[in-house]
Structure 1
Amino acid sequence: MRSDVAFVIPVYNEGKVVKDVIESVREHYSEVVAVNDCSTDDSAAQIQAGGAYLVNHPINMGQGAALQTGIEFVRTLPGIRYVVTFDADGQHRLEDVATMLEVIEREGKDMVLGSRFLGTEAVGMSRSKRSVLKAAIAFSNATSGVKLTDTHNGLRVFTKRVADEINISMPDMSHASEILEIIRRNKYTYCEVPVQIIYTDYSRAKGQQAINAVNIAFDTLLRKVAR
């Protein structure tokens, strides 16, 4: 079991699945930080039952804020070399995390990003979701200065140095675009690795809606104009 890798899992109303997700992670990695973003179900109790560190937001702040809170908690843990951002709904695979860790250790990159559009396509992804994601990828590549094949994949691995420096200010789903801007601004080295996202009936029911892509685009443009 590795103790030098910390998982950060943002959680909002994932009580049905989050305990199983945490337990599967903790079979291989001891350090798991789950940020309960003011869930209205029993997510907090399920996080504790799974054995993760539980950090509670007093109000719902969004996934970006939950990630930043988790990263800040990881900064206090001794012996951490790498941080993994991991979804709570069971879509991400630990096999992909292992590959990404191999890549970041072998190549010495600052960040390794998962891509659904390299190699095997996402299992069960709807045509409409694929279209929305492709549009979001094109927009992010045009505005961020970082060219990727999958710009809104929540599976990432980065070094402790990046964790110590990163500051995500966008609280909601637009944090994914902000992370790309942080990569460009800080000149972090990065690469993509093919990953397989498993879309179940449960995850599809909770998945990102098309309107979120519009909100992401608006927030990104507003942030650029405000500079």
Structure 2
Amino acid sequence: MTILIPSYEPDERLLTLIHNLKEEAKGTSILIVDDGSGEQYKPIFDSAAEAGCTVLRHSVNQGKGTALKTGFNYVRQHGSADGVICADSDGQHLPEDILKMTDAVRNNRNHIVLGSRQFTGKVPLRSRFGNSATRMVYALATGKPIQDTQTGLRGYSADMLDWLCRVPGERFEYEMNMLLEAPKAGYDFYEVPIETVYLEDNKSSHFRPLADSARIYFPFLKFVTSSGFSAVVDFVLLFLLQWLTSNLLVSVIGARVISSIFNFTMNRRYVFNEGQGMSFKKSLPRYFSLVAVILIANYALLYLFHESIGIPLFIAKLVTEVVLFAFSYLVQRRFVY
């Protein structure tokens, strides 16, 4: 089993982690990727190499996703057949938790093994909020609840390495893209509870809250944007067709058909990566079947909330749209494209 540690501008905690891993699991293969940290940090990486680690170097910082892919590609060519455990270099993953992952990887082939923090005790507010938000977005996007979507402690069997090198993303968004792409690639998840460790309120983290969060949420934001543009097209066409035909039924149907075609084209081409291999002939009828189901569900939910339960129409409409929006994203990602 290879322990892969991507590292950018590390401190002595990296060397402490290496020492502890060597003590607790003699013969463990440790691979470190220096992601363009610069000359100032060369002594730390040299010490890691002297301790028996393999050190790969990027001349400039390329991001965590690229560093992981560099490591995966190296293991694919030179590593063992057991698999890879990825850990962070900032001391937030305990050696015993890292080593606990090895058995889980061996016993759960075709699974991404996640070291899941429980977020108990003193957790920085930024980290607690970020993990809760990402967990909710991921559950809405995939229908698969995961306790810790942002964990950097992950394990993979060796036969997953080719796929891991193809997952898009260069920085922190890579790890979220991996979780989004895994179900379609046939991989499930197995979570291993680990300790929640934040040192000095996570000051050593290189995660940029705005820029990197935008990258993480980008797949979902693309869907939101596409849906928003489609709603505008539907709205404008409704009034335009009503002005031209003075027939409300024709206007409603015409606007919805054209806006649906627009939405299908946008989602297929830009949101879901040109169909992920799904043919046009298959995705088109699936999409419009979904449109029909959503129309029926829209009426049914509105009737339930407003007529049966007595919720005000505005609130009933809002709740209905939120539920169907999440349902539409989930179905399109998993079955349409």
In the alignment, structure 1 segments of 5+ residues that lack a partner are none
Aligned partner of 1:100 in structure 2 is 101
Percent sequence identity over aligned pairs = 23
Q: 1:219 to 1:181 in 2, by over 3 A?
A: closer
Aligned partner of 1:26 in structure 2 is 22
**8 Å CA contact 2:113, 2:192 repeated in 1:** yes
| Structure in which a larger fraction of residues adopt helix | 2
Q: 1:45 to 1:178 in 2, by over 3 A?
A: same
Larger radius of gyration: 2
Aligned residues: 219
In the alignment, structure 2 segments of 5+ residues that lack a partner are 223-269, 275-337
My pick for the range that moved more, 92-101 or 156-165, is 92-101
Map residues 1-227 of structure 1 onto 2, 5 A cutoff: 5-27=1-23, 28=25, 29-40=27-38, 42-50=40-48, 51=51, 52-117=53-118, 121-167=119-165, 168-201=167-200, 204-207=202-205, 208-211=207-210, 212-218=212-218, 221-222=221-222, 224=271, 227=274
User: Could you give the per-residue CA deviations for residues 149-179 of structure 1, whole angstroms, max 9, x where no partner exists?
Assistant: 1111000111011123322320111112111
> Whose RCO is larger (CA < 8 A, sep 6+)?
1
Cα separation, 1, equivalents of 2:31 and 2:188: 25
User: Could you give the per-residue CA deviations for residues 68-112 of structure 1, whole angstroms, max 9, x where no partner exists?
Assistant: 101111112243302000001010012222333223334445321
Q: After TM superposition, give the deviation of residue 57 of structure 1 in Å.
A: 0.9
Cα separation, 1, equivalents of 2:80 and 2:272: 40
Cα separation, 2, equivalents of 1:107 and 1:13: 33
Cα separation, 2, equivalents of 1:187 and 1:225: 17
TM score, norm. by length of structure 2: 0.59
Cα separation, 1, equivalents of 2:178 and 2:130: 19
| Structure in which a larger fraction of residues adopt strand | 1
Cα separation, 2, equivalents of 1:195 and 1:63: 22
Structure 1 vs Structure 2 CA RMSD: 2.3
TM score, norm. by length of structure 1: 0.85
